[in-house]
Amino acid sequence: MTITSAPVTGEATKTWSGRSMPRKEDGRLVQGQGAFVDDGGMHGQGYAWFVRSPYAHARIVSIDCGPALAMEGVYAVLTGEEAKAMCEAPFFAIAPPPGSLMQEWPLAVGKVRYQGDAVAVVLADTRETARDAAERVVVDYEPLPAVTDGVAAAEPTTPLLYDEAGTNVAWHGVYDYGDVDWALENADHVVKLDRLHFHRFTSSPLECNGAVVNFNRGTGVVDVLSNYQMPMFAAMVVGPTIGVPMNKFNFVTKDIGGAFGIKIGFYPQIAALALLSKKAGRPAKWTEFRTEHMLSAGHGNERTFLDIEVPVMSDGTILGLKARAFDDAGAYLHYEPLGAVIWSQVVPGCYKLKHVRVDYTEVVTNKCPVVPNRGYSRMQHLWLVERIVDVVAHELGLDAVEVRKRNYVQPEDYPYETPNGCIYDSGDLPRSLDLALELAHVDEWRARQRELGTGSGRRIGIGIGSTLDSGTNNFGQSRIINPELPFSGNGEAAFAKLDLFGEINVNLGTTPQGQGHETTAAQVAADILGVTPEDVTVSTGFNQANNSYVGFSGTYASQFAVSGLGAVMGAAQKLRHQIVKLAAFALQAEEEEIELEGGTARVRGDEERAIPFIGLANMVYTNNAGLPASLLSECDLNARYVYVPPFEVPDTVAKTGNLTLTYASQVHVCVIEVDEETGEVKVLEYAAVDDCGKRINPLVVEGQVHGATGLGIAASLYESLDYDESGQLQEPSFYEYHVGTAMDIPDVACGDIESPSPFTPNGAKGMGEGGGAPLHAVCAALQDALGGGGAVVSESHNHWARVYELVHREPGAPRGVEVITRSGGLANDAASL
């Protein structure tokens, strides 16, 4: 992959913010000087190894820890029953009944519910001893039939994962906006699709999960050093279960080697390690193995859409959509069923769909629990919308570009309110699309496609993926799932401090995993405080004891540029205010006359009257006799600021409200070549236009775009997590699961459009997750290659064998699509709808 550098816009503005500058953190990260979880440890620690179930669904008849405990070097073994006895409650349930009856404990109790479910955990003097001992924990299982199909799981005749819940349905709700029945009755055409399926995959962070946990029985303090990306969520869930109050938790994160949302899912392991440590009286260190990660760390949501109906006018205006969605959450509800509402941040996708009804069912199955995965829950829905738009174009013989442009929310429509009350802040989708088409040289490829004709054995396909990356969540949306939940709004905290010798420190509550927080935080603080980014030391990483944090702190869901930097800006402004006040006193000037430049406060227009930051720090920290009390109380040179985005609590009955603050848009265009003989797909050209408002550091933005693109292309062509009927994962290691590498991913031409957000302190929008645009673009390109009347691309994952099947579909075989055309509908009068 090469970097096609975007024009740098910031230099002209003379601010640090807006400039493409190399990342401050990269030097140490590429020189092996990072501090990752396995680099850390605690005095006297033992090493933990989880005993995991080989069965997808089985009753635990007995567990014999004797042979393991008899081994030299084994400190302790903790079983599920024992762990439960040490707990005050099961993990807090997000779902109301029946989902809340699907209880989870730190280790499996009574039953295992997926291959990889942890039944016990061993602590020993070395990692190797722990592993050997884990093999000697003898578990007697009585296998039960496995439930592996996310749609069949909801049938009343299917075996139950949780007898006490009486159903495998964890949550069900109908999202109904506008009047879809009316639209279906009055549209010129109704396009029907039987089934679309979004597959399971993961993001394979380079660093697997890990934690060192100490339960100090004397002080009651629990220290957790981990690579958890949303520590407060883990603390909130684990605390009440193991009976530890928040002020006795000390969650710490350092560098994190990739997370992608997956690292929101391992709180049960942290709870189990805490109890193991409590039992053994020493810290427990656990570093996950790759196969363990593949089996049990969490997968992305798998979703099946059935009975899709789309009302369309003759001119290509799409009025809305109707579908049934079955989301497969796997065996336990780790962050679910939040996914059952999070998709609704983007109900109409990039389009002005007005009438939408989605009947949404979330089920449990005997598969690895799902956890948020880059593009969490929106990506699945956006894929549905993109498939619909694409299929509509193909079935009605319309141009895929024109249909998109016709239905896009237009630049003049912003702020645009979606049918469920979300506010799209800004954007220019038609221009983004034009730019992407140009960057991908689509005109040339169309000509090449025509030249190639048929009979060459090769086909060219061109596809578009237009998505939204909704950032800065309103956690109030969780109440649409469960009105009893005590959550709403969002926020992030930062500290800015002028230190003893005039140094500037910024502390964040965020947990970056490659998003460059040290750099962008330094850029915005430098602008406010009149220094360079090198002068600002940014401590990232969560630290419950030392850093500033709020309940939502962490790094997830595309929000740092808004909430994280909003907090940094607020804290830096507060600090600036104090510096100015002190300088005005020291220099005998008015505050308005003070300017900050190069680490010095000076009186505007008077070279002689200036004081360096070290002098101001000295006044406060070490030389404060005689300083007026008012100044001392106002200027402690330690400024904390919490950024809180403006949100209301959503309407939980109508399921409406503003669910996210910003909407970055991504328009990707992909050109592929399909080998008809084998079904192999090669990406010939790829372009991505990401409009995330004002970019603080375009280079960092582009890095995120590359990452999201690579992940999406790999997911669409190589990466899939499948279970056989007995619930065995078919790709438990990298032998079977081919992670896209630099050799697979094409060069990405990046283009940028900046539509500043009117709702954020800096005009920026959250970005980084992307909306899974490569999956949509690859599927659309494949559809284009198959041509009108060909098979319908109905799977998000298209490995060679599937592409081969699509290409060689028997003529007359069912296509899974139907168009009903009504004469005398609304007679093309789409404008009145």
Contacting residues toward other proteins, per CB under 8 A: 127-129, 131-132, 135, 291, 677-678, 680, 714, 717-718, 720, 722, 730-731, 735-736, 738, 740-741, 743-744, 799-801, 804-805
Helix or strand (DSSP H, E) at 307:
strand 302-312
Q: How far is the CB of 743 from other proteins (least distance, A)?
A: 4
Q: Which residue has the tokens 């669904």?
A: 57
How big, in percent rounded to 5, are the helix, strand and coil portions of the chain? 30, 25, 45
Give the residue with the Cβ less far from other proteins, 5 or 741.
Answer: 741
Give the residue with the Cβ less far from other proteins, 446 or 799.
Answer: 799
Contact call for residues 269 and 50 (beta carbons, < 8 A): yes
Helix or strand (DSSP H, E) at 291:
helix 290-296
* Residue (of 300, 467, 485) closest to 383 by Cα position: 467
Instruction: Return d(Cα 200, Cα 302) in angstroms, integer.
Output: 5
Q: Which residue has the tokens 């602590």?
A: 123
Classify burial at 646, counting beta carbons within 10 Å of its beta carbon; exposed 0-12, middle 13-18, buried 19 or more: exposed
Give the residue with the Cβ less far from other proteins, 630 or 730.
Answer: 730
Contact call for residues 723 and 729 (beta carbons, < 8 A): yes
Q: How far is the CB of 459 from other proteins (least distance, A)?
A: 16
Q: How far is the CB of 682 from other proteins (least distance, A)?
A: 11
Give the residue with the Cβ less far from other proteins, 291 or 410.
Answer: 291
Left, alpha or beta for 128 (phi > 0: left; psi -120 to 50: alpha)? alpha
Give the residue with the Cβ less far from other proteins, 490 or 716.
Answer: 716
Q: How far is the CB of 709 from other proteins (least distance, A)?
A: 16
CA 290 to chain centre: 21
Give the residue with the Cβ less far from other proteins, 177 or 737.
Answer: 737
Give the residue with the Cβ less far from other proteins, 44 or 457.
Answer: 457
Give the residue with the Cβ less far from other proteins, 414 or 737.
Answer: 737
Instruction: Return d(Cα 406, Cα 188) in angstroms, integer.
Output: 16
Both tokens assigned to 185: 């009755």
- Amino acid, single-letter form, for residue 315: D
Give the residue with the Cβ less far from other proteins, 753 or 779.
Answer: 779
Instruction: Return d(Cα 285, Cα 515) in angstroms, integer.
Output: 27
Q: How far is the CB of 35 from other proteins (least distance, A)?
A: 24
Q: How far is the CB of 537 from other proteins (least distance, A)?
A: 37
Give the residue with the Cβ less far from other proteins, 226 or 720.
Answer: 720
Give the residue with the Cβ less far from other proteins, 128 or 185.
Answer: 128
Give the residue with the Cβ less far from other proteins, 135 or 634.
Answer: 135
Whether the ω angle into residue 774 lies within 30 degrees of 0, i.e. cis, is no
Q: How far is the CB of 721 from other proteins (least distance, A)?
A: 9
Q: How far is the CB of 730 from other proteins (least distance, A)?
A: 5
- Amino acid, single-letter form, for residue 283: P
Instruction: Return d(Cα 160, Cα 167) in angstroms, integer.
Output: 6
Instruction: Return d(Cα 461, Cα 833) in angstroms, integer.
Output: 34
Q: What angle do CA 31, 32, 35 make, to 5 degrees?
A: 130
Q: How far is the CB of 825 from other proteins (least distance, A)?
A: 43
Contact call for residues 674 and 803 (beta carbons, < 8 A): yes
Query: Positive or negative CA dihedral for 760, 765, 769, 771?
Result: positive
Both tokens assigned to 646: 């403006």
Q: How far is the CB of 128 from other proteins (least distance, A)?
A: 4
Instruction: Return d(Cα 80, Cα 51) in angstroms, integer.
Output: 11
Give the residue with the Cβ less far from other proteins, 200 or 694.
Answer: 200
Burial 354-369 (b: 16+ CB within 10 A, else e): bbbbbbbbbbbbbbbb
Instruction: Return d(Cα 460, Cα 500) in angstroms, integer.
Output: 64
Q: How far is the CB of 567 from other proteins (least distance, A)?
A: 41
Give the residue with the Cβ less far from other proteins, 245 or 457.
Answer: 457
Instruction: Return d(Cα 566, Cα 494) in angstroms, integer.
Output: 9
Give the residue with the Cβ less far from other proteins, 661 or 786.
Answer: 786
Instruction: Return d(Cα 268, Cα 253) in angstroms, integer.
Output: 17
Contact call for residues 650 and 480 (beta carbons, < 8 A): yes
Q: How far is the CB of 745 from other proteins (least distance, A)?
A: 9
Q: How far is the CB of 412 from other proteins (least distance, A)?
A: 44
Helix or strand (DSSP H, E) at 311:
strand 302-312
Contact call for residues 402 and 392 (beta carbons, < 8 A): no
- What are the CA-CA distances from residue 415 to residues 317, 410, 572 (Å)? 21, 10, 30
Q: How many residues does the chain have?
A: 833
Q: 456: Cβ–Cβ under 8 A, 6 or more apart, which residues?
A: none
Instruction: Return d(Cα 736, Cα 721) in angstroms, integer.
Output: 9
Give the residue with the Cβ less far from other proteins, 625 or 743.
Answer: 743
Q: How far is the CB of 210 from other proteins (least distance, A)?
A: 17
Q: How far is the CB of 225 from other proteins (least distance, A)?
A: 23
832 C-beta neighbours (distance < 10 Å), count:
5
Instruction: Return d(Cα 521, Cα 504) in angstroms, integer.
Output: 12
Q: How far is the CB of 107 from other proteins (least distance, A)?
A: 22
Mapped onto helix, strand or coil, the DSSP state of residue 637 is coil
Give the residue with the Cβ less far from other proteins, 94 or 714.
Answer: 714
Instruction: Return d(Cα 419, Cα 348) in angstroms, integer.
Output: 8
Q: How far is the CB of 439 from other proteins (least distance, A)?
A: 24
